[in-house]
Structure 1
Amino acid sequence: MKMKKYLLGLACVLFISCGGDGKSNKKMTPQKSETKKDQSTSAKDGGYGFEDLAEDLGFQTYAWSKEKDGTYFGDPKAKKGGTLNYIHSLFPRTMRIIGQNSSQVLNSRTIASLCYESLLSQHPTTLDFIPKLATHWHISDDKMKFKFRINPDARWWDGMPVTAEDVVATWDLRMDETILSPFEQMTYGKFERPVAESKYIVSVKANTVNWRNFLYFATMKLHPDHILKELDGTAFLEEYAFSMIPGTGPYLIPEENIKNQESYTFERREDYWDKDSPFSQHMFNFDKIKVSVVKDNDALQFEKFKKGEQDIFNVNRSRRWIEETDFEATQKGWMKKQRIFSEKPAGTSGYYFNMREWPFNDKRIRYAFCYLYDREKMNREMYYNEYGMMNSLYSGTVYENPNNNKFKYNPEKAVQLLKEAGYTSRNSDGWLVHEKTGKVLSFTIITQKTSAYMITPVQQMLKEYGMDMQIQFIDYNTMIKNVNARNFNVCMLAYSGLIYPNPESSLRSTLADQDDNNNVWGFKSDRVDELLDEYDICFDQKRRIEIIQEIDGIFNEVHPIAFSIARNYSRMMWWDKFGYPDWMLSRYVGEYWDAFYYWWIDDEKVDRLDDAMQNEKQLPIMPIDMKYWPAYLLELAS
């Protein structure tokens, strides 16, 4: 299919380079799409004037107000313009947000958030539903049917109007098994095919009652029917593996901005249909967001940051945070560094076992691994006690089962379990050998080179007790490809957390023997499946907490993960040229991604920084801890 392709990049938080003037008065060439207002569709069918009928028709909406919403949709002081430069360790596996290989955090936080939109969004602080492509919505009394009125002003990049048919086409695509993404069919298969009741009114019926049905359908990112109607799932995967189907969001990436495996650059759309809305006008401020790629070398990334080749740096390593961030630029306040606290879900990280195959199909081996993994020692000696211990899929939340085994370092228990599993003696190389099969207890972990500093100490801990963990270094994309094909023994992974737990997408038994989904361990449990069914139809939050805690306890007993460590803050550094809201990072995202959406270039700070660096002047030093959200919660509770 021939068409002009807009290639969108992923990104990771880019900021203006210290080498340029960095000011916001340099404007990019605007993109324009001439469109006429639809004056022919009646108000009742969702055209202009629908607002006057909405309440009588049973529809609701959310109205922005300064008193309620403050700066949570961006700061009025924000200015448009300039370029944000960032260096990331990955080039995207695909630039799609639907289908095989598209479930990376990088895709959801950048491409999906900057280039595509859903019918509704959620308030960044209260989680209330708010308008996006749809202005109004209706929920039936039995909570089985939903209706949405699409904004007649909403436009795709190519100027075509957003219509109810786009919703239908997107659902059809997600339900197409040839997109090789089983969780899509699991999630959207809970609905009947949507119905375009008019050009701007779309309805959908749920097959069963589920308290998350409205959330999932309302926040489904849309693609255009006028392009999808020419494609099946297989063609979609091919056509848009590294090019972007038009979206409705505030950014795009022209084809010439993609340098494969090197960089990709977002450009802000001057003709963004929602740019004057109070929900958008103070967000999406950078004219350009450039992401350059340095693979498997975070030391080089950091050096480039210090030289001004990137403008923001997410400090993952505790040693670097403690020992390597005290230099002239930070001492003089030219570069800022802070630990920014929020309520972001901790997510899940650690050593993920493939329970489908030897040796981790034996729970005793999994347990032994965990008892030999001395996380507390590593935290003391390597991580400067910057972390807490993770013992749950829902660490640090109300959903964590308090009775979970903490698996504290216990080599005696590990040795006992290994003997019970048949590993009673060692060979001449010192490795455990099974007493009946003669098989050496040797397995391979696949990982990136940048993770070596975390994995090598664990390798030595296991070696001391006869477990041979071989380390195979591969790049991230190859690692994920192997994990999705279930071609691994053990790997180190991290899943981002959700505000509302959705264990079905990673724990449903039907996913265990399928590729390309988040049940990477091969986890199966009839009881968990029963609890998942109950969770879907439970509208009582107290009971939902009990359900998730029970699921968490069952998962912990099976123990497909040797849990790692957790922290409830982000460690960030940036050159002091940016403006940002008082809260800096949002309540529930709480990561450097938020700079994409809410930060801007402050021309006065740019001049101040240039002057300070040229004349060796001191700039203000910020407190190391930024705790806007903890203070906000205390105020709510008072």
Structure 2
Amino acid sequence: MCLLALFTAGCGDAPAPGDVPGDPGGSEPVPDNTEAVLAYYAARPDFFTFKTPADLPTGLNWQDGAHLPEIGSPEARKGGTEYVRIQDFPRTLRTAGPDSNGSFRPWILDFTTLALGHRHPEAFEYYPGLAEAWAVSPEDRTVYVRLDKTATFSDGVPITADDYLFTFFFYQSEDIVAPWYNNWYGTQYTNITRYDDHTISVTIPEAKPDMDGRVLGLRPVPRHFYREMGDDFVERYQWRFAPTTGPYVIQEKDIRKSRSIALTRNDAWWAKDKQFFRNRYNPDRIVFTVIRDTPKEFEAFKRGDLDQFRLDLAEYWYEKLGDEDPDVQAGYIHKSVFYNQRPRPTYGLWINTSRPLLDDINVRVGIQHATNWQLVIDSYFRGDYDRLRTSNDGFGEFSHPDLVAREYDVDLALDAFAKAGFAKRGPDGILVNNAGDRLAFTLSTGYEDRKDILTILKQEAAKAGVDFRLEVLDGTAGWKKVQEKKHDLHFSAFAAFLEMYPRYWETFHSVNAYDQAFLDDGSVNPERKVKTQTNNLELLALAEMDALIDRYRASDDKDEMIELAHRMDELHYEHASWVPGYVQPHYRIGHWRWVRYPEGFNHKHSRSAGEFFVHWLDPEAKGATRTARSDGVTFPASIRTFDQHR
């Protein structure tokens, strides 16, 4: 799960060869972990198994997803440079370890690299990525995979079964300083077997309803690139771009720290003519320029320095780029809104229950009723958004059918605060207790472009006697604050993956809140210490929740999992440690007319206009548009709503 925020790095130019520890251009000896890796495999024969093709089970039902429709448009053209804004420069090019879980990561991992297979954005079935075919055996909880023999990393090295074995070594290693990966790859898989260079099987603990996805979602880690990996992993690979399975690479000359970074097409990309990729990833280059403020980003877009601009905020859709805008009316800039279907990001207030006063359930319930999200929706978003009900909306029957967010109600908020000892208002209207302590908390965010939301929440909360001290940070500082668990309340969201059912362990399990939340007898550990660098931003630690999560992860019965999911959502609601915010049923974008999209604009399960890279650039249209704009020549306006999936 990826936090919807942006991250930065320090100033300075890209490191020269030899400046990065372990860079072959340096004078230090280059380490080799081959013996350690092989020893790791040998010490875990139940997990790492080596067999021959003759050992494969007979009668497997091999699938390849070939019946699914292509993604994108056959009209798409390759070429051109797309210009994109990033709020802050990425802190690292690593995709694992400290500071790696930023908003730039999808550009070099989630959206651009290939796994064994991927969910189709229309059909929800799997189409092949690095796999040529796969077969699911629920009886032995195993997925068998034939790797595409033509698949290579971006440096030309073939992708083999050995890379997948190494993937488990990599993510189970404490050297990467990534507890989530350590746990996931150490507990959610029980075996990987190598049959030959291009045939593997992966076994999971339980025959989950989506067990194919648990395996097909695996991305390989290049064994040859991480041969130097050791306890200095974080520093050694901080600015080294790993060979990728996707269409784009980052060249060292394009890393201009604090200023810009670029993706360049790999002309030798092995999958460029494959059925599900040939109409995608169309720009030759994508240049990301650091523009810290959204108003300045909009100015750059209006000048034509940026090709597209998200118009999700009402002030931009209705006012700053309203339908009557001269560039819109002249047909230079197109406006599009697309209704999608997928699990929703968890926009809301994350309450740190380890902080003074916030550890009181009555205070948290009071905050729930003192937070006027409906006014935010009605005024700030002009009624275009809806109220989020739970932290797991959009998962069909796994989402709770009846729970709704607590409504804004000053009287209910005051009643709850009074139970916590805050029954009198001070001279400024803020509640105080008998000790004279004010009911005040810092409400922070890393969303600079949505700071006005916090102003509304502050004004409304004051009516209920609680003071929200606003703190608007850049993306990097905001993420750092919540990862170090130094926040009171934080406005943010996690992106939700396109999966059959929601995840709970990352955000709800006590192992991600404290080093040892409970004693052996089940009581709260008075000496427990906050665990940082996890996604449990609420510091939620409930023994009952832990037990439910453990059963949920172990279950292979869909009906039982649905029942457990509903109970966990109820328990989360009762704990009142997260205030549901809003849900956006669509995305809106403005784009210059030289940016083209397919006839239906995008696919049903897309989370954003750019996620599946189905757009393309028309250089002739770009030249014609610039000339026409200069000469006063106009085109038909294009303001379109795509609601086929509404």
The answer to whether TM tops 0.5 is: yes
State the secondary structure of the residue aligned to 2:190. Answer: coil
Residue number in structure 1 paired with 2:540? 523
Encode CA deviations 1:209-235: one digit per residue, 9 max, x unaligned. Answer: 434444233212222111223212x43
In the alignment, is residue 279 of structure 1 matched against residue 276 of structure 2? yes
Q: Which residue of 559, 565, 570 maps to 2:587?
A: 570
Residue number in structure 2 paired with 1:294? 291
Residue number in structure 2 paired with 1:218? 216
- One-letter amino acid of the structure 1 residue matched with residue 438 of structure 2: V
Superposition map of 1:170-249 within 5 A: 170-189=167-186, 190-232=188-230, 234-249=231-246
- Give the RMSD, CA atoms, in angstroms: 2.6
- One-letter amino acid of the structure 2 residue matched with residue 601 of structure 1: L
Superposition map of 1:112-131 within 5 A: 112-113=109-110, 115-131=112-128
State the secondary structure of the residue aligned to 1:266. Answer: strand
Residue number in structure 1 paired with 2:63? 61
Encode CA deviations 1:7-46: one digit per residue, 9 max, x unaligned. Answer: xxxxxxxxxxxxxxxxxxxxxxxxxxxxxxxxxxxxx978
Does the C-alpha gap of structure 1 residues 538 and 262 become closer, same or farther in structure 2, counting only changes over 3 Å? same
> Percent identity, aligned pairs only?
22
Q: Which moves more between the two structures, 493-502 or 415-424?
A: 493-502
Cα separation, 1, equivalents of 2:56 and 2:641: 46
Q: Which residue of 147, 150, 157 maps to 1:150?
A: 147
Superposition map of 1:11-160 within 5 A: 58=60, 60-65=62-67, 68-69=68-69, 72-107=70-105, 109-113=106-110, 115-160=112-157
Using the TM superposition, give the Cα deviation of residue 531 of structure 1 relative to its aligned residue in structure 2, in angstroms: 3.0
- One-letter amino acid of the structure 1 residue matched with residue 355 of structure 2: E
Q: Which moves more between the two structures, 269-278 or 458-467?
A: 458-467
CA contact (8 A) 1:96 1:240 kept: yes
CA contact (8 A) 1:169 1:229 kept: no
The answer for unaligned runs of 5 or more in structure 1 is 6-43, 631-638
Q: Which moves more between the two structures, 489-498 or 615-624?
A: 615-624
Does the C-alpha gap of structure 1 residues 587 and 235 become closer, same or farther in structure 2, counting only changes over 3 Å? farther
Residue number in structure 1 paired with 2:301? 305
In the alignment, is residue 593 of structure 1 matched against residue 610 of structure 2? yes
Does the C-alpha gap of structure 1 residues 592 and 96 become closer, same or farther in structure 2, counting only changes over 3 Å? farther
Using the TM superposition, give the Cα deviation of residue 203 of structure 1 relative to its aligned residue in structure 2, in angstroms: 2.6
Encode CA deviations 1:476-514: one digit per residue, 9 max, x unaligned. Answer: 111211211111111111111233212222212221223
Cα separation, 2, equivalents of 1:55 and 1:396: 38
Aligned residues: 578
Using the TM superposition, give the Cα deviation of residue 97 of structure 1 relative to its aligned residue in structure 2, in angstroms: 1.9
Cα separation, 2, equivalents of 1:397 and 1:602: 37
Cα separation, 2, equivalents of 1:86 and 1:444: 32
In the alignment, is residue 318 of structure 1 matched against residue 339 of structure 2? no
- One-letter amino acid of the structure 2 residue matched with residue 455 of structure 1: L
- One-letter amino acid of the structure 2 residue matched with residue 598 of structure 1: V
Using the TM superposition, give the Cα deviation of residue 518 of structure 1 relative to its aligned residue in structure 2, in angstroms: 1.3
Cα separation, 1, equivalents of 2:179 and 2:361: 27
Q: Which residue of 268, 273, 277 maps to 2:265?
A: 268
Cα separation, 2, equivalents of 1:365 and 1:468: 12
State the secondary structure of the residue aligned to 2:261. Answer: strand
Residue number in structure 2 paired with 1:40? none
- One-letter amino acid of the structure 2 residue matched with residue 311 of structure 1: D
- One-letter amino acid of the structure 2 residue matched with residue 511 of structure 1: N
Cα separation, 2, equivalents of 1:626 and 1:330: 18
Residue number in structure 1 paired with 2:632? 616
Cα separation, 2, equivalents of 1:622 and 1:508: 48
CA contact (8 A) 1:169 1:228 kept: no
Residue number in structure 2 paired with 1:455? 454
Using the TM superposition, give the Cα deviation of residue 300 of structure 1 relative to its aligned residue in structure 2, in angstroms: 0.9
Cα separation, 2, equivalents of 1:62 and 1:129: 8
Cα separation, 2, equivalents of 1:114 and 1:208: 28
CA contact (8 A) 1:209 1:537 kept: no
- One-letter amino acid of the structure 1 residue matched with residue 170 of structure 2: L
Cα separation, 2, equivalents of 1:105 and 1:587: 22
Cα separation, 2, equivalents of 1:541 and 1:621: 49
Cα separation, 2, equivalents of 1:287 and 1:522: 44
CA contact (8 A) 1:59 1:136 kept: no
- One-letter amino acid of the structure 2 residue matched with residue 135 of structure 1: E
CA contact (8 A) 1:168 1:193 kept: no
Cα separation, 2, equivalents of 1:509 and 1:273: 43
- TM-score norm. by structure 1 comes to 0.85
State the secondary structure of the residue aligned to 1:469. Answer: strand
Encode CA deviations 1:592-624: one digit per residue, 9 max, x unaligned. Answer: 2236x2111134533542453244233223344
CA contact (8 A) 2:175 2:233 kept: no
Cα separation, 1, equivalents of 2:536 and 2:117: 28
Residue number in structure 2 paired with 1:506? 507
Q: Which moves more between the two structures, 345-354 or 210-219?
A: 210-219
Does the C-alpha gap of structure 1 residues 380 and 145 become closer, same or farther in structure 2, counting only changes over 3 Å? closer
CA contact (8 A) 1:114 1:249 kept: no
The answer for unaligned runs of 5 or more in structure 2 is 1-21, 27-50, 515-530
Q: Which residue of 560, 569, 574 maps to 1:557?
A: 574
Does the C-alpha gap of structure 1 residues 615 and 428 become closer, same or farther in structure 2, counting only changes over 3 Å? closer
In the alignment, is residue 433 of structure 1 matched against residue 432 of structure 2? yes
Encode CA deviations 1:402-450: one digit per residue, 9 max, x unaligned. Answer: 4324311210111111111001224444432222x43322221222443
Residue number in structure 2 paired with 1:633? none
CA contact (8 A) 1:209 1:536 kept: no
Q: Which residue of 334, 339, 358 maps to 1:336?
A: 334
State the secondary structure of the residue aligned to 2:139. Answer: coil
CA contact (8 A) 2:389 2:404 kept: yes
Residue number in structure 2 paired with 1:626? 642
Cα separation, 1, equivalents of 2:642 and 2:143: 41
Q: Which moves more between the two structures, 283-292 or 189-198?
A: 189-198
